[in-house]
Each structure stands twice: as structure tokens, then as C-alpha cells.
Structure 1
Amino acid sequence: MIDRGTGEPVPAGQTLPWDRQRLLAQLSLLLQHQPVAVLTGESGAGKFFLAEQYRHHQQIDAADCGLIDARSPSVQSGQAALPPVVDALTDSALVVIRHVELLSAGDQQVLLHHLERAENSARRWLLTTRVDLQAATVPDRFQPSLFYRIRMLACPVPPVRQRPHQLAGLIRELVQEYVHKYRRPVERIDESFMQAIQQHHWPGNVRELRHAIERAVIECTHGVLQAGHLPVLQTVSTCESAVPGDRSLAAVEAPTKSSGALDDVVASTERTCIQQALEEHGQSRTAAARELGISRVTLYNKMKKLGIG
């Protein structure tokens, strides 16, 4: 498996940034005594990264790990219902189900059945969800029986914005990773670069942070990473500040007068909003269009115009 949150393979023995050592220890202890645990948190927070690190920590071979992504078209359409999928994973030591809340009601009942039978089994189930399991009521799309079965087994993964004091270490680690990957001549990180990152809200969490630093390293040609290497943050902040909490494209104001520079900003802003919406919804154009407040046809036209594949 790879870390779908970052798009990068996770090598065994990699040093974990931030407080993920603590999270991994908590997860390992829980699964030592329970057949199932749930990683909760916002999109891009690193839930799948932790699942992969748990597999490495337990020395479970990739061939012995089954992965079910409830966002996949085959699962959403019912072509890959859970019973036959799980039956095909009967020999797996670890089964990871991403976005468990997106499983159909029937598949959630099947999952509950397997969890109830797993008390005396060596197999472990690791679920991920963006739903807050500490909610006072059963969230939409969750079957009550499954919700109450896994509610107390949640391991929350905090978003980046709640850990600004821990960003410095992660920034340096990611810079080092991409300097090595792209063989770029980066010698030091300017304070302006660190401040720009620490002041950003990071709605896309670790996923967004990784891609921003990756681009900055690629564009650095003089040995010093500076805030100017992060123009993407200015674009994203335009999208975020248009209407607080609203990512609809209607909230992004068009330039009041014809200007090539302003047109570029608007185009870049729309591109960022669309790409983030598509990524968060597993490339589903219907769901992305709904979140952006536009029709599917309008989204398709904008994607074509902006060169989004």
C-alpha cells in the first residue's frame, strides 16, 4: 500500500513527525486488546498514513493486508458489495476500510457481523472516517448498531491547524525529503518561509502541506527557501477568505476590471478549489460540483478550460 493521503510510499522504519509516535502507540495498544479501531479526522490529516505505519510496526506483510476504499466507484455502485470482498480477504491479518461511513446500510450490517465474530480472531480491522464519532447523535449514513459498536474505539487524528507548534519539525522533514527526491540545491530555510506556513490555515491538512512544500522545493534555485516560493498559499487564501466556511465558486469574486494578472489569480483560485473538492470526494465530479455550488456541466466546462484532467 501507499499513503493515499500524500501519494507517497511509506518506507518501513520511517521517523514519524509530530505526535504520531504517540498516536501509533495508542493505536497499537487498542488493537492489542480489541479486534477493531477507528482513525477519525479531517480529510488529509494522515489517517491512512497511520494505518500503514501500524502495518509496518506489526510487521504485517503487504500481501496479508486487505484494503477496501468505500469511495471507489465499484463500492458506491454496489458492484463490489462487502460480503464477497470481505470473503476474499479471509486470510488477511489486517483489513483496512477507508471512509467506512460511505458503505451502504447493508454493507455496514455485514461489517458489524464480522466485527462481532472477530472477538476470538487474530485478524484486526482498522477503519477510517471523517465523521466525528463523539457526536451526541448518530451521524448521517451511519447505522446505529455499527456506530455504537465502534464509537468508543476511536483514535482522533488532529488537523494541522491545531498543532502549529509542531509544524517546524515536519516542515524540515518534508523539505529534506523533497530535496533528496528532486536533488534540489536547498541549503537553508528562511524564517519568512516558516512563518508563511505557520500562519496558513491548511484546510487540506498534511496532504496540502506536502504538495505546497514539494512545489516550493522544486522552484527553489538559489539555495534558500523563502515565502516567495509559496505563491500557492496566496491563491488558496483567496478561496478560503471569500466566504468563511464556504468553498463554493460563487463565493470567489471575479475581478472588477479586465486585468491579465487578476484573471490569472481567479483562474488559479478556481483551479485550486476544484482540485481540492475533487480530491476530497474521491474524484467524484457530482459530489465536487455539489460542494462547489455549481452544476456538473459547469464543473466539467471549468475543468476543461483550466486543464484539469
Structure 2
Amino acid sequence: MPEKILIVEDEFIVANDLRIILQKAGYRVLGVASSVAQARTLLALERPDWVLLDIILKGPLAGTVLAQELNEAGIPFLYISANTDAVTLEAVKITTPYGFLIKPFRERDLLVMLDIARYRVKVEASNLAPAATTPAPVEDIRSMLGLIGESPALARVMEKIALVAPTATSVLITGESGTGKEKVAQAIHQLSAHHQKPMVTVNCAALPAALIESELFGYEKGAFTGAQQRRVGKFEQADNGTIFLDEIGELSLEAQAKILRVLQEKEIERLGSESPIQIQVRIIAATNRDLEKEVANGKFRLDLYYRLNVFPLPLPPLRERREDIAALAMHFLRRYAHQARKKVNTITEPVLQQLRQYNWPGNVRELEHVIERQVLMTEGTMLTQVELPELHTAGTPAAGRLQTLEEVERQHILHALKTCHGKVFGPGGAAEALHIPATTLYSKMKKLGIKQGYA
């Protein structure tokens, strides 16, 4: 039975194009609504499998209002809009769509976005693990990554790796520098069905703009001056395996467009060749940037973001897993004491407390370097002191350092919650005190790691 789709779009030409594309692809179009009111009427008559939803509609209500109602009814939807400014994206994010297609769009863009959205629904419905696959054992992941610690934040990461690794799903790993994004990518590949095939790593930040195309897609002999022999590009090297696009947020918009085309068409073309090459590659991307902000600022393509972000995997900073710091410090102590042939084997409690109070802007990598340096400087069997910068202690901004906007915003929200005794919405709540919608405050709290009821 064909899937049923409701189109909510107030531009007649766009709506008609959507209807033709969808019917041609085998979907059943239930109707077209140009306003939220009309959409409600059609929804009352028959439940669709999908809703394609514009944001700016006829009448007083925006598409985001209908989106909240669709969420409550359990009906998945995708946005189709020309609006990608920061305010719109913030409102869109709260409604958790399954995709966002930018006008104008190609027929293939729409169908690919629907395929991605359908897969995301399938993954969620099967508790993030397709029935044909078996989640990898968590202990295998712990051993493979050398993960140290028992914090809830770390346990959630390992559970997600275990679920996604056996699938072919694209993964977007996000997190600050030093949180171990490349190690996580390696574990996902090693626990996949294609672990015997290559995993090719591309440091996007190190690719010169002029060489991106030749590095990623290769070239034929004579394609340009100096091309004395054929060269196979990174995507072709990763065929039937995995390509890890590290720091993908550093790519130019032009380079992003080239990668998007590869993901959509599943083919590459060497420079100097007119014959496309079909490839099957699993994509794992990583970034320490906030790609949603980059999209809002026009620095990252929204269509590429949704194409990569099928399975988001955020890695927690070390300051959010302080209970793991002592175990990590002892792990690094043993490693570097052995390498340096030192007898140091203990860390005093005052030093451990000092390590716990530091905010670790460089995360696990910084902790490792600190312990390595201190081991080399220590005589005897006990590490009794550690040299840390005076800045970045827990709860205290650095002396002489301007706080980031996120730090200021977090402290302001915490102060508002404390003043309102932990109440978020309603009369006397923090949202009212801050003069923002409760949905916006909840979104900011989630982003900044503030739990409800924190006061």
C-alpha cells in the first residue's frame, strides 16, 4: 500500500510540483492545505504517514504550530521552506522534524530526504537498532576505545555506539576538541559488518581549497599540469568501507556541495574523466562546531547537515563526567610511569581533588598530557602535586578572561531558575522572568546541560 502524504504549502506552484513528484514516485497525496486551519480539517479526515510542511502559511498560524500538534499525534513530518535564518531554525529545532528541504529543490533532493526520514523513523521505532542487526557488546567497545570510567554520560555514549555500529547509518559525531571523536569513529568501523574493508580518514581542516576535489575524488593522468599518473581519491579508497570526514564544519560551501552530490548520487568522478564511478561508502563525520549555528550563519548547508545527521552522537566534555577523572588519571599515570621507567604509582587525594575541580577545556587529551608531564617531573612513588592553569576551575571564569556568550547565558539561566525556585514555566516561572517562551527556555537548558528543577 502506498504511503500517504499531506502537503501543507501555500504556494500553488510549489504545492503542485510536490504533488506531481510524489505521485510519480508512488506516494498517495491526501490533499494540499494552504493554512494550519485547512491542514487540521484534512488531518481529521484521514491520518497521513507523512506531512510536508511549509513554515510561512496563509492565516495567523505558522507551520511550527502545526508541527507541535503533529508531534503530539505521532505523525512524522519534514519542513520545506526557504527560511533558514537563526530565529526560524531555533523554532524548527524545538519541533524535532525528520528533515528540512530548502526551496528551490530538485526532485531527487525531495525523494532522498524522504528516504532518509523514513530510515530515521525505522531506527527510532526499533529502538535505534534495525532488526537485521545485532548491537555490539558494550564491553567490546570499552576495550576497543580504551574507555575509562563508569559515569552515566560515558555509558550513554557506549550504548549509542553499540546500537549504530552494526548498521550502515551515517553518523555525525559532535564534541569539543579532545573528547575522542576519531577513536569513536574507529570503533564504529571496527564493529561494523565492513570492518575488514578500509576506513579512510580525511582531515577536512587540512585540505587546501584548491586541492579538495583532487584529494577526495582523485584525477586521471594529464587532468592538469603535473598530473603525471592516475590518482585514486579518498572516497574511492573507502569503497565498501568507511570514510571519516573529521572537522567537516571547516569545509567551504563549495566543497560541501561536492560532498552532498556524492552522498546523493552514490558516485564520484575523477578529475579529467567523463565516466562516473559507483561507490558504496559509509559516512562518519565529526566536528567541534555547532553546525546548527553554522547553518543559521550561512556557513554550512542545511541539506548536507540533515543528510549527515541521521544518527547524531554527541560526546560529553570531561567536565560533565568528573566522576571518571580519578580513574582516567590513574590509567595515564600507569601508562607513562611504565614508559618512563618511573616508580610513581599513586596520586594523592588533594591532587585528585584539584583535578576534579579543573574544567578541562582540552578534555581527556589535556588530562593525558598533564599526567604525562607530571610523571616525568615526579621522583619517588607518589604524585603529590600537579601544575594546572589558574583559569577554568569549576564554576569560576578565568581571571582576566572574558566569559563566552554560552557561559554568560548559562549563568543567567541558572540564576533565574534559582530565583524562581526551579520553576520553569507558568506564573512566577523562569521563562516569564526572562521574557521568553517556555519552549525556548527548555531548548536552551537542554543545549547548555541544565537539568529541569536545577536551582
Question: In terms of mean alpha carbon deviation, does 31-40 or 130-139 score higher?
Answer: 130-139
The CA distance in 2 between the partners of 1:137 and 1:103, in whole Å, is 13
Residue of structure 1 in register with 2:164 after alignment:
30
The answer to whether structure 1 residue 148 and structure 2 residue 279 are counterparts is no
C-alpha displacement at 1:95, in angstroms?
A: 0.5
Letter in 2 for 1:76: P
The match for 1:15 is 146
Residues 142 and 94 of structure 1: is their aligned pair in 2 closer, same or farther, counting only changes over 3 Å? same
Residue of structure 2 in register with 1:95 after alignment: 243
User: Residue deviations 1:108-167, cap 9 Å, x none?
Assistant: 12222232345x976311100112346596355211211222335211001111111222
Among candidates 250, 262, 266, match of residue 114 of structure 1: 262
2:175 to 31, 41, 51: 41
Match in the other structure for 2:414: none
What residue in structure 2 maps to residue 70 of structure 1? 204
Check conservation: 2:200, 2:238, Cα contact below 8 A: no
Residue 14 of structure 2 corresponds to: none
Counterpart selection for 1:241 from 399, 402, 405:
399
**Structure 1's 92 and 225: CA in aligned 2 closer, same or farther, altered over 3 A?**
farther
2:189 is aligned to 55
Identity within the alignment, %: 24
Instruction: Assess, with a 3 A threshold, how the Cα gap between structure 1 residues 102 and 14 changes in structure 2: closer, same or farther.
Output: closer
In structure 2, runs of 5+ residues without a counterpart are 1-141, 219-232, 267-277, 405-455
Matched, 1:79 2:214: no
Which gives a bigger RCO, structure 1 or 2 (Cα 8 Å, sep 6+)? 1
Q: Deviations over 1:16-37 (max 9, x none)?
A: 1235464244134235444310
Partner of 1:183: 341
CA distance in structure 2 between the aligned counterparts of 1:54 and 1:198, rounded to whole angstroms: 30
Cα deviation, 1:40-77, whole Å, max 9, x if unaligned, reads 0111121112122333334735x7111110111xx233
Change over 3 Å in CA distance of 1:87–1:43 after alignment to 2? closer
Offset of 1:216 from its aligned partner?
Answer: 1.0
Q: Are residues 1:231 and 2:387 paired?
A: yes
Q: Is the 8 A contact 2:154 2:316 kept in 1?
A: no
Q: Note closer, same or farther for the CA distance 1:56–1:183 as it changes in structure 2 (3 Å cut).
A: farther
1:17 counterpart letter in structure 2:
I
Aligned twin of 2:56: none
- Per-residue CA deviation, residues 159-211 of structure 1 (Å, 9 max, x unaligned), is 11111122222122121221222221113110011011111111111121110
**Equivalent residues in 2 for 1:188-267, closer than 5 Å:** 188-226=346-384, 228=385, 230-234=386-390, 240-245=398-403
Distance 1:196 1:67, change over 3 A: same
Question: What amino acid sits opposite 2:312 in the alignment?
Answer: A
Q: Please state if 1:104 is matched with 2:252.
A: yes
- Asked if the contact 1:186–1:222 (Cα under 8 Å) also holds between the matched residues in 2, the reply is yes
The code of the aligned residue for 1:146 comes to: L
Distance 1:168 1:139, change over 3 A: farther
Asked if 1:132 corresponds to 2:263, the answer is no
Report deviation, 1:239. Answer: 10
- Structure 2 match to 1:6: none
Once residues 143 and 324 of structure 2 are traced to their aligned partners in structure 1, the CA distance between those partners, rounded to angstroms, is 23
Aligned residues: 231
Q: TM-score, length-normalised on structure 2?
A: 0.45
Q: TM-score, normalised by structure 1?
A: 0.65
In structure 1, C-alpha distance between the alignment counterparts of 2:392 and 2:154, rounded to whole Å: 27
- Matching residue of 2:126: none
CA contact (8 A) 1:24 1:53 kept: no
Residue 329 of structure 2: aligned partner: 171
SS in 2 for 1:35: coil
